[in-house]
Structure 1
Amino acid sequence: MDETFGQSSRLAGVSPEALRHGDAPSWKVVMVYKLVRPFALCLLLTLPALVVRLGGMELPPALGLAVFGAAVVAASFLLAWGAEAARMDISGALAIAVLAVIAVLPEYAVDLYFAYTAGSDPSYVAYAAANMTGSNRLLLGLGWSVVVVIALFVASRRSGRKVRELVLAPGHRVELGFLAIASVVAFIVPLSGQIHLVMGFALLGLFAFYLWKVSRAEAEEPELVGPAARVGALPTRVRRPLVLGLFLFAATVILASAEPFAHSLIGTGAEFGVDEFLLVQWLAPLASEAPEFIVAILFAVHGRGTDAIGTLISSKINQWTLLVGSLPIAYLLGGGPTALVLDSRQIEEFLLTATQTLLGVAALLALRFPRWLAFTLLGLFALQFVFPGQQARYVLCAVYAVLAAAALVRNRRHILSTLAAPFRRGETTAARDVEQLTR
């Protein structure tokens, strides 16, 4: 009882001592306010999109981008908070599968819409490829880097000494092994110039195997942060219907907004003379990835750098397996053939994304994420905006490949153990992460 009492008071921002002595009679009001405020803001941001969609109204592209983009971002936060809080009540393979799909729904809804539409309109193939490659590179180049820099800064402040690298828990070798396999398979796309239906099913099979593997991990008490923690502290009879309601509402908003958001992106580019490919590649993923980034950053700020980077590594696995594997299926359902054929620009983008992923995996084979690697990944990510041409993309691919080769040589004794980790019996990510930060 005291533990629950203390947790509730902390979430309300009131000390347990004050509550016990009756010095804070309105603490329940404060807690309800802190719980409701972020959810109410998200609900308000989704209302204009729902009104426009249900009313069948047409908006100018730029206004539609703002309205439906805000709805997607807000619904993404609701999904992220609900998925985190749901860990209090469900566990096992089904829970992992459900939460994995829920967590990636905002990004996938937009990308699969592009792939589905490409089945009848080939011009949309470019947008499907752009959204996938953009979200993938954004996650590693910006997400991994920023989270590690923050985690090392927090660790340095707490320890009073300069912390230069984040050491991942041994259990993360399994996830790194899955990502290594997926990154090698990914090179089939630029080499063949297409994403074939057979490859799609193979990647979905790898994703299913990944879910089965992690479902064998021992259940642990989740450590929640932010609004998800406030929902998790609610009584079970309140929490469960609230989480279900968040899922249903957010999914409805995202599915209703995906199509007009996609059209608004393209229309805005045409209206203002901005490359539609770039808008789809960077603006849409930035909107859908924002909640995941913020959750990972909160983990890092709270001194849980291993949890933060582990979350983003898992997201990379989802993108290279579930997302890429789903694209040719959506394309086929939309009326296209059994292979989603890419043009030269899209092949370059996939090659750049694959080499970036290979560098990330190769550098982490020793389960160490040094500060220099974070800044290197961030700097290379930024260079693609400074030098956006075709030649620059190939040069950047070569840089990623050379650095990856050097990292593979340096960490060569970890290559086989990493590739074999997903197939070893009894090796899971179940062990509680023990973060060891050294110079």
Structure 2
Amino acid sequence: MFASIFSTSAPVDPTAPNLHPVSSAFKDNELFGKLEPNDTKWLCAGGFVTETQTFYVSADDGTWVMCQVIHSAVGVWYPTIQFVFKLYNPTTNETIWKSINVNNFVTPPQGLDKRSSKADEFSITYKYTPGSDRPESYTIRANLAADLQLSFDLSRPASVPGYKIGQGPKGGYTYFGPDPAKAEGYVVHRFWPHLMAEGHVIHAGKAVTLRGPGMFVHAIQGMRPNLVASAWNFANFQSEQHGGVSAIQMEFKTCDTHGKKGAGSGGVWVNVGSLVVAGKLASVTAETKWPDEELLDNAVISRATHLKPVFDPATSYKQPSAILFQWQGRSLIADSPGALAAKLHVDVGDVENPKGLIEKVDVLAEIPYVIKVAVNYVAGTKPYIYQWNNPTTLSITGPDSLVPGLSKGLEITGTLFNEATFIS
């Protein structure tokens, strides 16, 4: 593993592709890959590997919640495991944030498999109930400080299976390097695009009960984060209208080092996403944007476009003033054949007048010291994550057999949590 991570040797043909994006690896009718049990088990690999399990909740009262476990390995050092919790209440503008390095991390806990984990400060327990309306669930219990405890139950509806892009063991993977079989690194995402959550948070002696839809993603970056991408976009739209609607996207832009024609041809956008409509996984999308190639009006569209960027002196990056997210793909529902398309335009304001801005996260200020040194030394950059949470509207069309009137277009009101990450 170390040989592949630190390797700088060029391929025989220096202009050969050294990026193999998952968004180009499968045909349009092969994008849906059902998750297998091993897909969401903790890998806990060594070398330079960052692995996360992240749960998002968009509560009925507008409160946004994130619970995340980060397993970070850096070379020969012992892995660092963090538990990150964040809550944002747009009504009160209250933000609760806690990030701790946990002790005695174990996966699997006794009697469970590696989809579950625990440490002194938390437990995440996976449960499988075949044949039920909610066949899979996670229970999160955490005691993060004397004044902060949380408890959540998150369950996946049977009609919304978890997915990755593409079937089989290679589904979900983007490979870096000239030979995917001997990859220099990789990125993989596995999703539950729509779940239902119930729970409570006890903070400063006050208990708050929360309920609402959300999503779950298990992600692994099998190389140094600064070598994977120069930028990321993430969108998580959730609504309980029409039996449950979600629209999610995960997108990254490679560094110049990896592209269709080898080193120096990068800056490739890799985007994956999905649409849940009427409480059913309706479509899975994936699209690649190669440098200097125009995006066409293809049968499958999966795009995030920054609009009206403005310079932010606090971060030295150009933040968008608005973002357009687009989805288009074939229906996965047998009795509702056809195509689905959706657009979501969110106004996030400018530097002086932000809209729904939770935080500008200084990444290097929050990650463990060893990882900070490794990333900053190699990259010489200061990555920031813009986080927004806004009520918004998803415009969507599709078969009327899925939702009456969908062919003429419906406006779905819900909540969008989105991130824009700048690394270099």
TM-score by length of 2: 0.24
Q: Normalising by the residue count of structure 1, what TM-score does the alignment of the two structures yield?
A: 0.23
Structure whose CA Rg is larger: 1
**Higher helix proportion, which one?**
1
By relative contact order (CA 8 Å, sep 6+), the higher-ranking structure is: 1
